[in-house]
Amino acid sequence: RVLRAVQVIVDEKLANPILIGRPAVIEHRIERFGLRLRGGVDFTVVNPENDPRFRDYSETYFKMMARQGITPQYAKLEMRRRTTLIGAMLLSKGEADGMVCGTVSTTAAHLRYIDQVLGGTNEVYAAMNGLVLPGRQIFLVDTHVNVDPTACQLAEITIMAAEELKRFGIEPKVALVSHSNFGTSEAPSARKMRDTLAILRERAPELEVDGEMHGDSALDPKLREQLVPDGTLIGEANLLVCPNIDAANIAYNLLKVAAGNNVAIGPILLGVKAPVHILTPSATVRRIVNMTALVVVDAAA
């Protein structure tokens, strides 16, 4: 999938791809899949087994991590076996403009090295997924990073996600979704969503947001108006903020499959200082291409 995506990226002139992997394996797979890619012409290869830059990279990584139990020997080992770490170092050194990773392993495993080398713009990272459905666009957070975020973290995640939607040219309409519908439950997760709303009212008073509410209330403004005529969310919500990773991830994957052949966007990694996104092992060729295009826009900005 990655190499097929690279072929599309090259054909559409989206970017100059840098592949991190063993050259012999890459060439074998290009031949096996009948692709037209030419190493050194259509893409550049960073060989994790042998690159003259790795001495500098491992020394830099050791300096970053010396107070976190990393020895010089371990830094060298990590630099030759962790492709995401190599990619993050390429960005740190200014030798790449962005990175897409994650088709193998877990979000947490990739985020570890991204955080170590590149760092964040806020105190929390988050992942946002989007779906282009018939008649509507829906984005959900946090689908992959925070297992059970606090109200303060959810408020920060909401603000980051809303800013990302604005960069897409979409005016964010935020619903804080829950099993509780405007005070029908006093469960901890319901109170957390109400606390999130209170924090957002203070920190982002211009944001169109309301909650806590059921999923159908978020997408059906007539139903919502019957419940709360003085609500502060107008029309259909396009950004659903979930109380935990279970709710967000399950909702996204159910919608993605039930909606059929519609466009899935993401995961979009929020809160990193560089244009980086962590995909999932289920990412299609088109999603890899779409996320590469997003990275290009991020880097240009």
Stretch 15-19: mean pLDDT: 95
Give the pLDDT of residue 160: 97
What pLDDT shows up at residue 264?
Answer: 85
Closest of 256, 264, 291 to residue 276, by C-alpha: 291
What is the chain's alpha carbon radius of gyration, rounded to the nearest angstrom? 21
Q: Which long-range contacts (C-beta less than 8 Å, at least 24 apart) are formed by 194-202?
A: 195/151, 196/151, 196/154, 196/155, 196/158, 196/241, 199/151, 199/152, 199/155, 200/155, 200/158, 200/159, 200/174
Q: Which residue has the tokens 């999130």?
A: 196
All CATH 3.40.50.10950 domain ranges of the chain, comma separated, are 2-120+272-300
Tens digit of each residue's pLDDT (9 = 90 or more) over 106-124: 999 999 999 999 999 988 9
Q: Answer yes or no: is pLDDT of 150 > 80.
A: yes
Which of 1-10, 146-155, 262-271 is modeled with the greatest confidence? 146-155
Give the span between the Cα atoms of 231 and 273, in whole angstroms: 35
What is the structure's pLDDT at 62? 95
Per-residue confidence (pLDDT) for residue 1, from 0 to 100: 86
Strands 126-133 and 263-270 turn out to be: antiparallel
Structure tokens at 79: 């630099």
CATH no. for 126-258: 3.40.50.10750
Query: What is the per-residue pLDDT for 261?
Result: 61
Tokens describing residue 259: 């909606």
Residue 198 has a CB neighbour count (10 Å cut-off) of 11
Query: pLDDT at position 96, please?
Result: 96
CATH no. for 2-120+272-300: 3.40.50.10950
Per-residue pLDDT, 73: 94
Mean pLDDT value across residues 220-225: 94
- For range 25-39, the mean pLDDT: 94
Helix (H) or strand (E) holding 241: strand 239-241
Q: How confident is the model at residue 262 (pLDDT cuts 50, 70, 90)?
A: low
What stretch(es) of the chain map to CATH 3.40.50.10750? 126-258
CB 87 within 8 A of CB 123: no
The reported pLDDT for the residue numbered 260 is: 77
Give me the residues paired with residue 129 across strands.
140
Q: Is the pTM of this model over 0.85?
A: yes
Span 217-225, mean pLDDT?
94
- Residue whose C-alpha is closest to residue 278's, from 17, 48, 103, 21: 103
pLDDT band at 182 (very low <50, low <70, confident <90, very high): very high
Highest mean pLDDT among 121-135, 168-182, 281-295: 168-182
Task: Using the predicted structure, report yes or no on whether residue 183 has a pLDDT greater than 80.
Answer: yes
> Mean of the per-residue pLDDT values for the chain?
93
